[in-house]
Amino acid sequence: MTLLTAVAADGFFAAVAAMGFAVISNPPKKVLFTAGALAAVGHMVRFALLREDVGIASASLCAALLISLCSMPCARRWHTPAEMFVFPALLPMIPGMFAYKTILAIMQFLGATS
């Protein structure tokens, strides 16, 4: 699998996940597709940065910044709060295993100090 194919596949799956998260709040269709597009672009940037050995925190920050900056013109154009685009687009970027391990480590730490 070439790098371009891997990046495109990552963006596609992030868009599907973001659109799934966006459906929960029952938005208009234009918001759904915009959230998917923002998630795809942000996740592709994060994926490319991770392939270039940038840390996950820095790559996620850059992607989140890109998503938030791109959501502002979309919010103005469709007269919709930017949160309608940003939250669903950011959710696929939360690394599940890292979040799980962090919570597990916090719980173990709290149990060891009590």
Supply the DSSP string of 17-39, one letter for each residue: HHHHHHHTT---HHHHHHHHHHH
Residues 20-56: tens digit of each pLDDT = 989 988 888 888 999 999 999 999 999 999 999 999 8
Q: Where are the domains of the chain?
A: 3-113
| The pLDDT of residue 114 | 56
Helices (H), 1-95: 3-23, 29-51, 56-78, 83-90
Q: Which residue has the tokens 């840390």?
A: 55
SS3 82: coil
Q: Which of 38, 37, 55, 51 shows the shortest CA–CA distance to 6?
A: 51
Separation between Cα atoms, residue 84 and residue 93, nearest integer Å? 16
User: Does the pLDDT at position 113 exceed 70?
Assistant: no
In this predicted structure, which of 14-23, 36-45, 52-61, 98-107 has the lowest mean pLDDT? 98-107
pTM of the model: 0.80
At 68-78, the pLDDT tens digits run: 999 999 999 98
**How high does pLDDT run on average in the chain?**
88
